[in-house]
Chain A
Amino acid sequence: MNCQALVELVTDYLERALEAKELERFEEHIALCPDCAAYLDGMRQTLRALGTIPPESLSPRAREELLEAFRGWSERPVSQP
């Protein structure tokens, strides 16, 4: 496994989707190649950075409108047989 092949397997590695043989070759390569180890570390840091993006939320105004619409819905006359 060369470096160019390894970078294409990084996601499969992190997703634990590599077959046993491939996993062995991947880990062997990483242990001996500081550049690929740095590449993998950068990918892990990328995932950490993605995880810091805060959740989005509705604006307070939109939320209030929505709750009002809900009240209108929940107070509707219920037609039961």
Chain B
Amino acid sequence: MTELTQAPPGDEAGLLEALRRGDEAAFSALVERHSSLMCRVAALYVRDAAVAEEVVQDSWLAVVQGIERFEGRSALKTWILRIVTNQAKDRAVRERRSVPFSSLAPVDEPAVAPERFAPSPYQNAPGWWSAPVAQWPDGSPEDVLYASETRTLVQGAVAALPDAQREVITLRDLEGWSAAEVEDALELSPANQRVLLHRARSRVRRALEHYLEGRTAS
């Protein structure tokens, strides 16, 4: 998943050099490499798929037109992220279909519903599981139905996340960015980045757990 986006910067420098000379193959290679990121980020702000695709096209042209100004102080993908974010926000405002983007400040939210914990019979402190936690079945990779069903479920759970959580989990767990890269690109403190990631992963985990319980019950 991350091989393409984490290619060595030296390789990318060559592509950028070729792009500055107007080399179409270099452009095509960069489009191949970074369009997933662009599509996902555009979809964070613009819900309509056709409009999001236009945002990606406009963003690529903005990359090409701005390539002379790119000085390589940040990673290319960070620069691309900023361009597509700005393009998508502008477009969302123009379309007046802007989804109000919630603040990046994490809100307090438990990873597991408090009802699932109870006082332990052996200790005078609350906070022990009140019922056993199910061990999930290991989904074998050959089981295509299982895999594609699970994937659809997980994609839906990510799509339903609050904006800031969705942004962080998309970059970290779908695009494979490092914590430091996400902190830099979204201007988050390490602690806030982790809190948002934790809330997001916990919600997706809950969705999967709910789904797996349903499968076992039927």
Contact = CB atoms under 8 A, between A and B. Distances in A.
Decide whether A and B assemble into one complex. yes
Chain A interface category by residue count: 35 or more
B28 A4 contact: no
A21 interface: no
B147 interface: yes
Interface residues of B, number: 59
A17 B134 CA distance: 27
B117 A3 contact: yes
Interface string A3-32: 111011011100101000000000000000
13 contacts: A4-B114, A7-B202, A11-B202, A12-B198, A15-B194, A50-B174, A56-B35, A56-B43, A58-B39, A62-B56, A67-B27, A70-B64, A73-B64
Interface of B: 1, 4, 22-24, 27-28, 31, 35-36, 39-40, 43, 53, 56-57, 60-61, 64-65, 110-112, 114, 117, 120, 123, 125-129, 132-136, 138-139, 147, 150-151, 154-155, 158, 169, 173-174, 179, 190, 194, 197-198, 201-202, 204-205, 208-209
